[in-house]
């Protein structure tokens, strides 16, 4: 089975709404979690990361929450914009430099104006 996965394959929101994208992971040894955004025809773009010694981290319009008890990760996007439309992947690894990222299947976020 896969180490990291997402609850919903698609999410549709209205411009200005807040979006929440969820991810469940199964590897308790994972120490480092990352959210990537992938636009059509492009490579994954780093959004935000979090280490297992934290439960929340904020960036510009984005917040990542980590619940280690239930092995759940979420990405919150405030005031979602049409430019946020993309596929969002969570990924994890063991927080050692140079190690493989294990990606989940991705959630397609569609923002309508």
For other proteins, the binding residue among 10, 16, 18, 46 (CB under 8 A) is 46
Quickly count: other Cβ atoms within 10 Å of residue 69's Cβ: 7
Give the start-end residues of each E strand in 1-113: 4-6, 10-14, 19-25, 32-38, 45-51, 56-58, 62-67, 72-77, 86-93, 102-103, 107-112
The C-alpha atoms of residue 34 and residue 39 are separated, in whole angstroms, by 16
For other proteins, the binding residue among 42, 69, 83, 113 (CB under 8 A) is 42
The stretch among 19-27, 61-69, 77-85, 97-105 that binds other proteins (CB under 8 A) is 97-105
Number of residues forming the site for other proteins (CB under 8 A): 23
The stretch among 41-49, 57-65, 68-76, 78-86 that binds other proteins (CB under 8 A) is 41-49
Contact residues toward other proteins (CB under 8 A) are: 2, 32, 34, 36, 42-46, 49, 89, 91, 95, 97-106
């Amino acid at each position: 089975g896969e180490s990291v996965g997402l609850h919903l394959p698609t999410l549709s929101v209205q411009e200005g709404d807040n979006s929440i994208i969820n991810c469940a992971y199964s590897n308790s040894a994972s120490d480092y979690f990352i959210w990537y955004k992938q636009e059509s025809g492009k490579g994954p773009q780093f959004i935000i990361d979090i280490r297992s010694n934290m439960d929340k981290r904020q960036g510009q319009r984005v917040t990542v929450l980590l619940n280690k008890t239930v092995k759940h990760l979420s990405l919150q996007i405030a005031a979602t914009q049409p430019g946020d439309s993309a596929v969002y992947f969570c990924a994890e690894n063991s927080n050692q430099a140079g190690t493989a990222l294990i990606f989940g299947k991705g959630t397609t976020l569609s923002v309508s104006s």
